[in-house]
Amino acid sequence: MYFGIVIEKMEGKTMPEEITSFLKLPVYTRNGLYVGNVKNVIIDLENKKVSSLLLTNTNPSLVENSIDVAVPYRWVNAVGDIVILSYFPEKVKLKEEKEEETTEKTEIEIEKEEPKTEA
């Protein structure tokens, strides 16, 4: 079965792209740090657009325990042979909280990057 979707490019133009073209692409920050590889594409079916990219094999210096993370598509700056993000948190950490009856709840805690001013 063929499955295509329209993706908005930076210049405001739209071009059809196959979802499968995203799979296994390496993802980098705007500073050139490797983040991970695209494992899956999450689609907002109601609005017929890409919602986020699920990344796997994540960089342990950016993502604690190298867990898979979903990156909002609005953070994507460019897509070609690689994906470049316009934003990614400084560090993604797991936060564990003890609940009653010794059940553990895991949340993701994000350390925000300090905004950089351009001269």
Provide the residue range defining the domain that includes 69: 4-111
| For the chain, the helix, strand and coil percentages under 3-state DSSP, each to the nearest 5 | 10, 50, 40
pLDDT digit string, tens, across residues 67-81: 999 999 999 999 999
Backbone dihedral angles phi then psi of residue 20, each to the nearest 5 degrees: -65, -20
Instruction: Note whether residue 118 is domain-resident.
Output: no
Instruction: Note whether residue 98 is domain-resident.
Output: yes
* For residue 117, pLDDT beyond 80: no
Ranges 44-48, 57-61, 107-111: which has the least confidence: 107-111
Instruction: Note whether residue 41 is domain-resident.
Output: yes
Instruction: Note whether residue 8 is domain-resident.
Output: yes
Strand partners, 83: 27, 79
Mean pLDDT of 11-39: 85
CATH of the domain at 66: 2.30.30.240
Q: How many domains are there within the chain?
A: 1
Strands 14-18 and 4-8, sheet pairing:
antiparallel
> In a 10 Å sphere around its CB, with 0-12 CB exposed, 13-18 middle and 19+ buried, how is residue 90 labelled?
exposed
pLDDT of residue 20: 85
Instruction: Note whether residue 21 is domain-resident.
Output: yes
Instruction: Note whether residue 24 is domain-resident.
Output: yes
Mean pLDDT of 45-69: 94
Contact 73, 83 (CB under 8 A): no
Instruction: Note whether residue 25 is domain-resident.
Output: yes
Instruction: Note whether residue 119 is domain-resident.
Output: no
